[in-house]
Amino acid sequence: EDDQLRERISEIKQEIEAKLSTKRQELEDLRKDFREVSEDSERNRIDNQIDTAKKELKQLTKDTLDDLLPEVFAIVKDTCRRMVGQEFMVKGHPTAWNMVPFDVQLIGGMALHDGKIAEMATGEGKTLVATLPLFLNALVGRGAHLVTVNDYLASRDAEWMSPIFNFHGMRVGCITTGMDFESRRDAYAADVTYGMNSE
């Protein structure tokens, strides 16, 4: 049964890729043309086409993810439910998973995905809520980033929430102050990257 969930996520990734591939290729072709042309008026014309194609790709991505949001959020919720009672190491301490998003938290995730602010008090589950839009946007394959206020929260939340992503074969990275270039590059290459605002 776990494999059915994982399989559906793989199918969703393929569906997203299929919907976006033509527009991505068009954009790549325009960028190639731009690099090869030297005449200013032609470069300006192609540059305008690139801007239009970028906007169209952004809108197509949003529309595609919006359509998939209910199913993907349900899969994340079900993933959380399946992990209840399992223990994971968080900051060197064994921690039992006991979180399944409530409806109000799903709504918070929808607001975040839509680019809105979701105000939540301490203990209302901001860390869990953030996994919903992170997971959905990570399916595009371009990396999804969560920005928080300090290194401790970035590393704690990355460790604490990583079981949700790991369950589906996604990799979680974390950017902290003073990381060397290789580690930083590796963290940015992950499906989901946690880090603080100054990093």
Global pTM value: 0.93
The predicted pLDDT at position 142 comes to 93
Dihedral sign for Cα atoms in the order 43, 46, 50, 55: positive
Say if strands 93-96 and 144-148 run parallel, antiparallel, or are unpaired: unpaired
Tell me the sheet residues that pair with 94. Answer: 89
Burial 35-66, CB ≥16 within 10 A → b, else e: eeeeeeeeeeebeebbeebeeebeeebeebbe
How deeply is 75 buried, as exposed, middle or buried, from its count of CB atoms within 10 A (0-12, 13-18, 19+)? buried
pLDDT of the chain along its 199 residues, tens only? 899 999 999 999 999 999 999 999 999 999 999 999 889 899 999 999 999 999 999 999 999 999 999 999 999 999 999 999 999 999 999 999 999 999 999 999 999 999 999 899 999 999 999 999 999 999 999 999 999 999 999 999 999 999 999 999 999 999 999 999 999 999 999 999 999 988 8
SS3 track for the chain: CHHHHHHHHHHHHHHHHHHHHHHHHHHHHHHHHHHHCCCHHHHHHHHHHHHHHHHHHHHHHHHHHHHHHHHHHHHHHHHHHHHCCCEEEECCEEEECCCCCCHHHHHHHHHHHCCCCCCCCCCCCHHHHHHHHHHHHHCCCCCEEEEECCHHHHHHHHHHHHHHHHHCCCCEEEECCCCCHHHHHHHHCCCEEEEECCC
Tell me the sheet residues that pair with 96. Answer: 87
The predicted pLDDT at position 147 comes to 95
Distances, alpha carbon 106 to alpha carbons 24, 75, 115, in Å: 30, 12, 15
